[in-house]
Structure 1
Amino acid sequence: MLKRINDALPELILGILIYEIVVEFTGIWFVKDKLGYSNGLLIGAATAIGMAIHMAVVLRDSMDMAESGRTRRIALQYVLRYLVVVAVFFATAYFEIGNVIVAFVGVMGLKVGAYVQPFTHKVILKLLGRGDESS
């Protein structure tokens, strides 16, 4: 399903999940509030994955529009996406359901996932036995 939205989206989400697992297992040893840490990271991971899917959908839908409307739509969706992220951070802090700083670290998984996507792409191709394709 995700591949229908964008070919790189599943690999991006895989990179986010790998990052979140590494951060969870390395950081959990150093904090006193383990539940707050884990909840914050889970909230951040869910937000990062939601942002990745939203970006892919907006970009796909914007390609069908005229160029003048495309730029405006992408900019408005960008602002909306970050307003939602700020709302998630405020809700996390207000209801004390997780550590906001760790939630931010989780959202940064989107950046890490984007940087490692070419690597995850190559690994997936090798695992599927199509390592000789150049794409």
Structure 2
Amino acid sequence: MEKVTKNLIIEVLVGIVIFTVAAMLAALFLYPKPSVFAGLLLGMLLALSAFLSMALVLVNAMKSSDPKIVQRNSIIGTSIRYLLLIAILVIVIVYFQSQINPVALVIGVFGLKAGAFLQPVIHKITVRFAKRN
């Protein structure tokens, strides 16, 4: 994997963590329940794992020269990600609703989107920091 790709992946992962920290700070003032923090943490873990899964599928797709294999692997990877996410959400709602807040879990998973949106900002900050040193 190229250094640029690794840096991009790390920047998105940092964005997911930043979003989760911001959501936890907001929850601390708005709804400070342990189940909310557990939901945000589990959502963050799901967002991190989903992003890493997407990154691996894309890196493998770039290595392949057959478009049919790329399409098949992408569809399989996406299907597995969504099925696992839905299964975990259903399990949390049915069995662990008192320990893990399902709404906070979904908000934590939205960290995946926030991480993607924060990546350009994080990239600019890291480039400026690298130029100083």
Q: Does structure 2 retain, via aligned residues, the 8 Å contact 1:28–1:37?
A: no
Q: Indicate the residue corresponding to 2:95 in structure 1.
A: 95
Q: Indicate the residue corresponding to 1:117 in structure 2.
A: 119
Structure 2: unaligned runs, 5 residues or longer: none
Q: Indicate the residue corresponding to 1:25 in structure 2.
A: 25
Structure 1: unaligned runs, 5 residues or longer: none
- The structure with higher relative contact order (CA 8 Å, sep 6+) is 2
Q: Indicate the residue corresponding to 1:72 in structure 2.
A: 72
2:50 aligned partner, one-letter code: M
Shift of 1:82: 0.6
Q: Indicate the residue corresponding to 1:40 in structure 2.
A: 39
Q: Indicate the residue corresponding to 1:63 in structure 2.
A: 62
Q: Indicate the residue corresponding to 1:86 in structure 2.
A: 86
How big is each residue's C-alpha offset from its partner over 1:26-56, in whole Å with a ceiling of 9 and x where there is no partner?
1222226x11000000000000000110000
Shift of 1:4: 8.2
Shift of 1:5: 6.2
Superposition CA RMSD, Å: 2.0
How big is each residue's C-alpha offset from its partner over 1:81-112, in whole Å with a ceiling of 9 and x where there is no partner?
01111111122223313111110000000001
Distance of aligned partners of 1:5 and 1:83 in 2 relative to their CA distance in 1, 3 Å threshold = farther
Q: Does structure 2 retain, via aligned residues, the 8 Å contact 1:6–1:56?
A: no
Shift of 1:130: 6.2
**Distance in 2 between residues matched to 1:53 and 1:5, nearest whole Å:** 12
